[in-house]
Amino acid sequence: MTVSPTAPSALHEDRLLPSQPQERAIAREIFAATSGLPIVSMHGHVDAGMLASNSPFPNPAELLVIPDHYLVRMLVSQGVPHDSLGVPRKDGGAVETDPREVWRAFASRWKLYRGTPTRIWMEHVLESVLGVTSALSAATSDEIYDAIAERLAQPEFRPLALLDSLDIEILATTDAAGDSLEHHAALASDGYGDRVVPTFRPDAVVNLDRPDWRASVDAMAERSGIDIVDYASYIAAIESRRRAFVAAGTRATDHGHLYADTEPLDPAEAERVFQAALKGEVTGASARKFAGHMLTEMARMSCEDGMVMQLHPGVLRDYDPRVFAERGPDVGYDIPIPIDHARALQPLLTRYGHDPRLTLVLFTVDEDVFGRELAPLAGVFPAVRLGAPWWFLDTPEAMRRFRETVTDTAGFYNTSGFVDDTRAFLSIPARHDISRRVDAGHLAKLVAEHRLSLDEATETAIDLAYEIPRAVYPPLSS
């Protein structure tokens, strides 16, 4: 079922391609070579439990609105309360429980998303995945809700079926150091072990001043079977969990630190700080030093076990303490801050930047850093790859600026390929489609300027969309 099947498509075939006619014609040809390639999604936050259960999605609001912090933060900025959007409270307090009302709150304010990537992604999801062509509005809200709900009830819209229909070749989830990995084990037993892989995210156990640090360390101790009583047993537990992740198919680690500090501590100082944390007496300054030390330790471990190391610093998480106390993390209150990458990463890169066993993918939400610091680092250190525009920068305009800014110094082949970094499962193809279109446009410009041949540009586009991410994130032997 579709809503108003005669409504014009919102998805113009030339969307995001260059407006200049000559470049647009070239871009069409380049994009045609990448549009049908499978999706390699090596960094994201899709729930492994949802995939393992393979249950029908509950309703349009719980699938598309409530968990999407991009979407929610825009509505909140316009005065729509979290409660009205059904965002759960940590204390279990009352919020809107009628998913249709949540959907209406979103659909009636659709114009707020004009010019944003959220609009592009949602239009792609609605039309290409769910078969809805009518524009969202207060008038169409209920009809579109019903059409989506009908689709979601069909067997072909179960999560694992969508892996095939969305042509997702591999999907990486993000998992805590103490995660049981039971959902991945279940997926592996059903034949999906090579398609849905975990990613090792140790933030909760390396940031000593996190409120959940001790609980996270205890969970890691239980999973590893190692009694964590000192720094040596702590490191042994991390290494044990990394081995378990590799055995489960993991290809990468993921580190979301506030800073990019990597200055190592001597063993005695690391022990002193760790013991203070066990006693609940660690200071903020000591916790920051320990987190930086652990980044260099994680690089050492990656040299030993082969896991790609991903780092995306510079985001002040849970900015509003009241909202965090009420709702918890990941509701839109993570704010970018400027940090010094070049000096901060120097200790790690001095040790491991030329080690052929390490691949370090660097992300940022600060555009100035791409050209000034990160592209020069990726352009000289064999271990470094420059991550795609991420989060606040995963917009068409930022993607264009990224290529224009970094290619001079890093080229195309010192980058990671596109990384979608999303928990919005159905939007994964939309995000990769945007990246492929933007890259086609950039490469078309180089062809029009006689800097690349069409064959070279087409090969590069295929590499960026598919071959490079497969090469940057190779499978590991357990």
Q: Is 322 exposed, middle or buried (0-12, 13-18, 19+ CB in 10 A)?
A: exposed
Pair 415, 433 in one domain: yes
10: in domain: no
Q: CB atoms < 10 A from the CB of 317, how many?
A: 15
Pair 318, 438 in one domain: yes
Helix/strand/coil percentages in the chain, nearest 5: 55, 5, 40
Cβ atoms of 361 and 308 within 8 Å: the answer is yes
Per the prediction, the chain carries an average pLDDT of: 96
Pair 32, 162 in one domain: yes
DSSP secondary structure, 190-257, as one string? TT-TTTEE--EE-HHHH-TTSTTHHHHHHHHHHHHT----SHHHHHHHHHHHHHHHHHTT--EEEE--
Pair 255, 181 in one domain: yes
129: in domain: yes
Does the pLDDT of residue 3 top 60, yes or no?
no
185: in domain: yes
Does the pLDDT of residue 449 top 90, yes or no?
yes
Pair 276, 348 in one domain: yes
Tokens matching residue 445: 């410009």
250: left (phi over 0), alpha (psi -120 to 50) or beta: beta
Pair 148, 189 in one domain: no
Pair 81, 201 in one domain: no
Nearest residue to 122 (alpha-carbon basis) of 362, 424, 327, 476: 424
- Residue 7 is predicted with a pLDDT of 62
Does the pLDDT of residue 438 top 70, yes or no?
yes
Residue 82: CATH number of its domain: 1.10.2020.10
Cβ atoms of 174 and 44 within 8 Å: the answer is yes
Residue span of the structural domain in which 126 resides: 56-157
Q: How many domains does the chain have?
A: 2
467: in domain: yes
Summarize pLDDT for 114-139 with one digit per residue, the tens.
999 999 999 999 999 999 999 999 99
Residue 1: pLDDT band (50, 70, 90) is very low
Pair 85, 142 in one domain: yes
Summarize pLDDT for 242-287 with one digit per residue, the tens.
999 999 999 999 999 999 999 999 999 999 999 999 999 999 999 9
DSSP secondary structure, 127-148, as one string? IIIT---SPP-TTTHHHHHHHH
Cβ atoms of 198 and 172 within 8 Å: the answer is yes
Q: How many Å apart are CA 68 and CA 71, to the nearest integer?
A: 5
Summarize pLDDT for 5-38 with one digit per residue, the tens.
446 677 999 999 999 999 999 999 999 999 999 9
Q: CB atoms < 10 A from the CB of 434, how many?
A: 22
Pair 284, 387 in one domain: yes
Q: Give the whole-number percent of the chain exceeding pLDDT 90.
A: 95
Q: Which residues of 290-304 are buried (b: 16+ CB within 10 A; e: fewer)?
A: bbbbbbbbbbbbbbe
Residue 186: pLDDT band (50, 70, 90) is very high
How is residue 111 annotated by DSSP?
G
Cβ atoms of 47 and 173 within 8 Å: the answer is yes
Q: Which residues of 405-424 are buried (b: 16+ CB within 10 A; e: fewer)?
A: bbbebbebebbbbbbbbbbb
Does the pLDDT of residue 477 top 90, yes or no?
no
235: in domain: yes
Q: To which residue do tokens 């207060």 refer?
A: 138
Q: Which of 110, 126, 157 is the last residue of a domain?
A: 157
Phi and psi at residue 254, to the nearest 5°: -145, 130
- Residue 330 is predicted with a pLDDT of 86
Amino acid at the residue 117:
P
7: in domain: no
Q: Which of 157, 178, 199 is the last residue of a domain?
A: 157
Residue 240: CATH number of its domain: 3.20.20.140
Pair 116, 228 in one domain: no
Q: Which of 157, 192, 207 is the last residue of a domain?
A: 157
- Residue 391 is predicted with a pLDDT of 86
Pair 119, 215 in one domain: no
Alpha carbon dihedral 74, 76, 77, 78, in 10-degree steps, equals: 90
- Cross-strand bridge partners of residue 310: 254, 361
Q: How many Å apart are CA 270 and CA 206, to the nearest integer?
A: 12
Pair 84, 206 in one domain: no
State pTM to two decimals: 0.95
Summarize pLDDT for 40-55 with one digit per residue, the tens.
999 999 999 999 999 9
Cβ atoms of 2 and 147 within 8 Å: the answer is yes
Summarize pLDDT for 54-105 with one digit per residue, the tens.
999 999 999 999 999 899 999 999 999 999 999 999 999 999 999 999 999 9
Q: To which residue do tokens 């729509």 refer?
A: 80
* pLDDT, average across residues 292-311: 98
232: in domain: yes
477: in domain: no
Q: How many Å apart are CA 417 and CA 413, to the nearest integer?
A: 9
